[in-house]
């Protein structure tokens, strides 16, 4: 396809409200999950190496992290299907076959330790040579969160989009085909760098939208009439996007998250605490100003010097006392994965000097209480149970926050409203 046609297509894709660029790649919550997913994969590799992983997918640390990947909006929807145990087919054969399980664990560990792109490719070739039935390029969806500048996600829509754009005949499920496709995608990414990103999630999202038909391809011949039809198709897609109101729904979700952070900010300040707002949320609009107005502009030294400072800085809301000790941590999970928020609070618990003395709250819509309890009960979170994590529903916070701010003192009113998860 001529370069100018691809650039025109990329320009339209970046402006498409329901496309992956606007609704996923620019999503502020997206990057929060990279570190927690990587830690989850490290847990899987460690359990396999120690022989404690077991033989079942359900309830395992792998299920936890794969579900976190699958919740990363449309591009990764269904990413867990490749890892679900299919008893009739006996795939993927990493649960009942100890040697295959060890090879998979070694693959995850090798990729986590890689410092060169060539090492990633070598690890993929080693896994391919093991011929593990049912374990193919879908594993690239896990590696992407470890090395987003080297590894391209892979699914049916991405392959279909790549084939349509390039005329290639990549087959889904073949590591050899995946590596060939990856090479071609890197070339596309380099040629059109000003429209894409070093993070290969952008180009993968572009191909995904081509593959699912969100973005019609231009005609293969320079016929003005067919080109006009293509322009009309693009206009129809934009109209459909507006009708679906997908972007509006996502904005509403994000605003609800911001509102709850604002409630916690205001309540903390009224109760006499110093307040920290997540570093990537500080500039969000709230009320007549910004979410971080009146809050700390930098983490206190004890937290900033912690090995987990980066993760702690992403906790949605922290309350600190006058000596800059964290006394309460809040993760607001409106519709995103509960996994990443719990991991960030664990980072605070293990990295802060006061250890587990802080109070930890998972703040979600009322209907997510069951999910919160199920997540907290997983074997992968056994260490987290020491946090005495509590569930704080939106409704209770909304109903009582004004009275607590006016008449309350310390954390006792909040503790009374919250429900223990352990």
Q: Note whether 177 and 163 are within 8 A (CB).
A: no
Is pLDDT at 223 greater than 50 in this prediction? no
And the tokens for 56? Answer: 């079942």
From start to end of 313-421, where are the E strands? 317-320, 326-332, 359-364, 390-393, 419-420
pLDDT of residue 335: 65
262 Cβ partners below 8 Å, 6+ apart?
286, 287, 291
Mean pLDDT of 84-91: 91
pLDDT of residue 235: 55
Rounded Cα–Cα distance for residues 13 and 10 (Å): 5
pLDDT of residue 408: 78
Q: Are strands 359-364 and 326-332 parallel, antiparallel or unpaired?
A: parallel
Percentage of residues in the chain having pLDDT higher than 70:
86
Is pLDDT at 245 greater than 50 in this prediction? no
State the number of CA atoms in the 13 A half-sphere of 362 facing the CB. 35
Is pLDDT at 192 greater than 90 in this prediction? yes
Q: Give 361-412 pLDDT, tens digit per residue.
A: 999 888 888 877 777 777 666 665 667 788 998 888 988 888 898 887 888 8
Residue 390 φ then ψ, to 5°: -120, 150
And the tokens for 361? Answer: 């709250």
Coil, strand or helix: which one is 406? helix
Mean pLDDT of 333-337: 73
Is pLDDT at 353 greater than 90 in this prediction? no
Q: How confident is residue 221, by pLDDT bands cut at 50, 70 and 90?
A: very low
Residues recorded for the chain? 422
Average pLDDT across the chain, whole number? 85
CA angle 206, 208, 211 (to 5 degrees): 115
Q: How confident is residue 413, by pLDDT bands cut at 50, 70 and 90?
A: confident
Percentage of residues in the chain having pLDDT higher than 90:
46
CA angle 181, 185, 186 (to 5 degrees): 120
Q: Identify any residues that bridge with 361 across adjacent strands, giving them in sequence order.
A: 330, 390
pLDDT of residue 381: 64
Least trusted range by pLDDT, from 25-39, 110-124, 165-179, 339-353: 339-353
Coil, strand or helix: which one is 379? helix
Is pLDDT at 279 greater than 90 in this prediction? yes
Give the residue from 41, 44, 64 showing the smallest Cα distance to 53: 44
DSSP 24: I
Rounded Cα–Cα distance for residues 143 and 49 (Å): 18
pLDDT of residue 52: 92
Coil, strand or helix: which one is 14? helix
Comparing 219 with 205, which gets the higher pLDDT? 205
Sign of the Cα pseudo-torsion (233, 237, 238, 242, in order): positive
Mean pLDDT of 6-11: 91
Q: Give 132-158 pLDDT, tens digit per residue.
A: 999 999 999 999 999 999 999 999 999
Comparing 200 with 3, which gets the higher pLDDT? 200
And the tokens for 151? Answer: 């590894």
pLDDT of residue 293: 95
Q: Identify any residues that bridge with 118 across adjacent strands, giving them in sequence order.
A: none
Q: Tell me the C-alpha to C-alpha distance, in Å, between residue 3 and each of 20, 130, 188, 200.
A: 22, 40, 10, 19
Tell the burial category of 28 from Cβ atoms under 10 Å away from its Cβ (0-12, 13-18, 19+): middle
pLDDT of residue 308: 84
And the tokens for 225? Answer: 């009439």
pLDDT of residue 171: 87
181 Cβ partners below 8 Å, 6+ apart?
152, 154, 159, 162, 168, 170
Confidence (pTM): 0.67
CB 153: neighbour CB atoms within 10 A?
26
Q: Identify any residues that bridge with 360 across adjacent strands, giving them in sequence order.
A: 329
Q: How confident is residue 234, by pLDDT bands cut at 50, 70 and 90?
A: very low
In the chain, where the domains are located: 32-143, 250-420
DSSP 219: P
User: Which of 18-32, 182-196, 247-261, 298-312 ranks highest by mean pLDDT?
Assistant: 182-196
Helices (H), 200-356: 201-211, 224-244, 246-270, 301-304, 309-312, 338-351
pLDDT of residue 41: 94
Coil, strand or helix: which one is 286? strand
Coil, strand or helix: which one is 72? coil
pLDDT of residue 219: 62
Coil, strand or helix: which one is 381? helix
Is pLDDT at 172 greater than 70 in this prediction? yes
pLDDT of residue 241: 44
Rounded Cα–Cα distance for residues 417 and 326 (Å): 20
Mean pLDDT of 277-290: 90
131 Cβ partners below 8 Å, 6+ apart?
none
């Amino acid at each position: 396809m001529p370069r100018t046609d691809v650039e025109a297509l990329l320009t339209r894709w970046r402006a498409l409200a329901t496309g992956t660029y606007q609704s996923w790649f620019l999503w502020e919550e997206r990057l929060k999950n990279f570190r927690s997913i990587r830690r989850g994969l490290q847990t899987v590799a460690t359990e396999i190496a120690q022989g404690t992983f077991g033989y079942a997918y359900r309830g395992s640390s792998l299920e936890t992290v794969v579900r976190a990947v699958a919740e990363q909006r449309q591009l990764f929807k269904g990413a867990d299907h490749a890892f679900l145990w299919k008893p009739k087919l006996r795939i993927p054969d990493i649960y009942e076959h100890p040697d295959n399980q060890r090879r998979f664990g070694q693959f995850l560990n090798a990729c986590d330790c890689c410092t060169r792109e060539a090492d990633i490719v070598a690890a993929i070739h080693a896994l391919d040579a093991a011929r593990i039935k049912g374990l193919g390029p879908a594993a690239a969806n896990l590696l992407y969160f470890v090395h987003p500048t080297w590894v391209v996600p892979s699914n049916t829509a991405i392959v279909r989009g790549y084939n349509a754009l390039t005329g290639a005949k990549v087959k889904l499920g073949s590591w050899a085909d995946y590596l060939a496709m990856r090479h071609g995608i890197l070339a596309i990414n380099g040629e059109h760098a000003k429209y894409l990103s070093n993070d290969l999630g952008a180009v993968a999202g572009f191909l995904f939208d081509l593959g699912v038909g969100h973005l019609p391809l231009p005609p293969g011949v320079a016929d003005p009439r067919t080109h006009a039809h293509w322009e009309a198709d693009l206009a129809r897609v934009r109209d459909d996007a507006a009708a679906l109101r997908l972007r509006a729904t996502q904005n509403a979700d994000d605003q609800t998250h911001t509102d709850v952070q604002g409630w916690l900010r205001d309540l903390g300040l009224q109760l006499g605490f110093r307040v920290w707002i997540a570093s990537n949320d500080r500039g969000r609009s709230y009320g007549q100003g910004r979410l971080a107005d009146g809050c700390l502009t930098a983490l206190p030294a004890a937290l900033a010097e912690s090995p987990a400072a980066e993760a702690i800085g992403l906790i949605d809301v922290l309350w600190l006392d006058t000596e800059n000790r964290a006394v309460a941590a809040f993760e607001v999970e409106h519709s995103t994965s509960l996994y990443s928020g719990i991991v960030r609070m664990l980072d605070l618990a293990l990295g802060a000097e006061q250890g587990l003395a802080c109070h930890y709250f998972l703040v979600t819509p009322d209907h997510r209480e069951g999910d919160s309890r199920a997540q907290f009960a997983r074997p992968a979170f056994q260490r987290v149970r020491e946090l005495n994590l509590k569930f704080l529903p939106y409704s209770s916070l909304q109903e009582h926050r004004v009275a607590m701010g006016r008449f309350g003192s310390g954390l006792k009113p909040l503790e009374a409203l919250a429900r223990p998860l352990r």
